[in-house]
Amino acid sequence: MHFEGLKQGKGKFTWPDGSVYEGNFENNLMEGFGKIVWTDGKEYEGHWKDNKMHGKGIFKWPDGRVYEGDYVMDKK
C-alpha cells in the first residue's frame, strides 16, 4: 500500500477520531472506489477523485436517509 512514503493502491486508513476509509489510493489521495464511515454514523460508498466524492455513490445518514446518485467534487 505504500510507495515511496505515499499511500498507493488498495488499503485502509483510520483517522485519530476513529473514522475509517477502505478503498483505493493514488499519490496519497482517495481515488477510485472506496467507502468511508465517519464516527457520527454517516457513510459514503462510491467513487472518489482527489479526496472528494466524485462520480456514482451512495451516502447514508444515521437517521436512515439515503442519497444515491452522482457527485461532482463533493457536491450532489
Q: Does 76 reside within a domain?
A: no
Ramachandran region, residue 37 (left: φ > 0; alpha: ψ -120 to 50; beta: rest): beta
Locate 5 and state its grid cell. Answer: 512514503
- Report how many domains make up the chain: 1
pTM above 0.85, yes or no: yes
Q: What is the pLDDT of residue 6?
A: 82
Domain hosting residue 49, numbered range: 2-71
Spatial separation of the C-alpha atoms in residues 62 and 9, rounded to whole Å: 29
pLDDT in tens, the chain (76 residues): 555 678 889 999 999 999 999 999 999 999 999 999 999 999 999 999 999 999 999 999 999 999 999 999 999 9
Q: What is the pLDDT of residue 4?
A: 66
- CATH number where 49 lies: 2.20.110.10
Q: What is the pLDDT of residue 7?
A: 86
